[in-house]
Structure formats: C-alpha cells, structure tokens
Amino acid sequence: MRKLALVTLFLALAATAFAGTPKSIYDFTLRTIDGDHTALSSYQGKVVLLVNVASRCGFTPQYAALEALYEKYKDKGLVIVGVPANNFMSQEPGTDAEIKTFCTGKYNVTFPIMSKLSVKGDDITPLYQFLTSKDTNPKFGGDIQWNFTKFLFDRSGAPIARFEPATKPDSPEVITAIEAALGK
C-alpha cells in the first residue's frame, strides 16, 4: 500500500513538472457556483473581466454596474466572471447557494459566478497565484488588496489591464479598455 502511495505521488509530481507554467487564464479550470467545473478556455476568443466579489462589502453595489456592462457588451464578446472570495474581513461568508441567491435576487446577476475561493494567503487558488505573481504577470501582478479588484483579458487570454476596487466598472477608464479590447 505504501509503495502504491509513493508511485501515485511520483506520478502526480511528474505530471505537474511536465505540465509547464501557465501562459494565460485559459490554462485554469474553476468550479462554478452550481458546482460544475468550467475551463476558462471556454471563454477563448472573448474579452474577459475577472472580478473577485463579495456580498457584504462597501463595493458590493458594483454588481449592478457589472451586470449592466455584461448586458451591454456580451453580444460583442465580453464575459464577466465573478469570483467570490472571503479574504477581506469575512465579507463573503455564505455558501455558494447563498451567494448565488444574493447575486441573482438582489442584483439580477446573469454573468458567470464561480464557486468561492481564496485570492490571497496560504490557500490562494492557482489562478490568483498566476495573476498576482510578478513572475507570471509582471505588468499587473501584486497582491489583491480588497474585494472587487478587476483584471481585464484580451481575446487570447492575456492580461491587458488591472483596476483596483475603487475604480467602478462603469468608469471611463474601464469602458475605454473594454471597448478597445472588443474592437481588436
């Protein structure tokens, strides 16, 4: 039994070593709020705005602007992906079911929402390790400071902008960046 465990561990480490360093968000899979797995590569060819969200934050009303952006630009190729995280003062304490009920009930959210994960700390999810590392994301890396940090990706999955929480989704700089990315 111990030999089998060692062989399994070796194979897992070898697979990781040969998998290579992620090159874009398309190299990651997340669990949806409904429990299904979704490869971010399913958004290939789209412009993606990835936002770590929370239900009990001063920035929570940004859900309304995010939904308005999604409605306005989804047919032109924009996907907004909400990623609930409870890393900041426990402002996202609910279960996935509670988060979904909140988002759809209070803000009529129709854009994809993922399962709650960690965006910083010892349990940071691999996607956010990739996004915040200066090695893999030298231009936009750096720790997530609070809820509603926004990363914008071009149609090839490369990061093209980062907006901190105080920058509203419907601010001129976000709109300009989205429209430029959609125009390419």
For every residue of 116-159, DSSP letters joined together read PB-SSSTT--HHHHHHH-TTT-TTT-S---STT-EEEE-TTS-E
Query: Among candidates 121, 39, 141, which has minimal Cα distance to 81?
Result: 39
First and final C-alpha spacing in the chain: 55
Name the CATH topology of 24-182. Answer: Glutaredoxin (3.40.30)
Going by the DSSP 8-state scheme, the letter that residue 8 receives in this structure is: H
Question: What is the average pLDDT across 150-154?
Answer: 98
* Least confidently predicted of 7-16, 116-125, 139-148, 173-182: 7-16
Write the CA distances from 180 to 68, 139, 160, 170, 177, integer angstroms. 18, 18, 10, 15, 5
Helix boundaries (H) for 57-117: 62-73, 96-107
Type of residue at 100: K
* Least confidently predicted of 3-7, 8-12, 93-97: 8-12
Pairing of strands 37-39, 29-31: antiparallel
- Give the pLDDT score at 147: 98
At 118, the pLDDT band (50, 70, 90 cuts) reads very high
pLDDT(108) > 80: yes
pLDDT(10) > 50: no
Domain ranges of the chain: 24-182
Identify the three-state secondary structure at position 161. strand
- Give the pLDDT score at 3: 54
pLDDT tens digit sequence for 18-75? 456 888 999 999 999 999 999 999 999 999 999 999 999 999 999 999 999 999 999 9
- Give the pLDDT score at 20: 65
Q: Distance (Å, rounded) from C-alpha 107 to C-alpha 92?
A: 16
- Cα three-residue angle 60-58-169, rounded to 5 degrees: 50
Active site residues: 57
- Give the pLDDT score at 19: 55
The answer, as to whether pTM is greater than 0.85, is yes
| Helix count and strand count (H, E) for the chain | 5, 6
- Give the pLDDT score at 13: 40
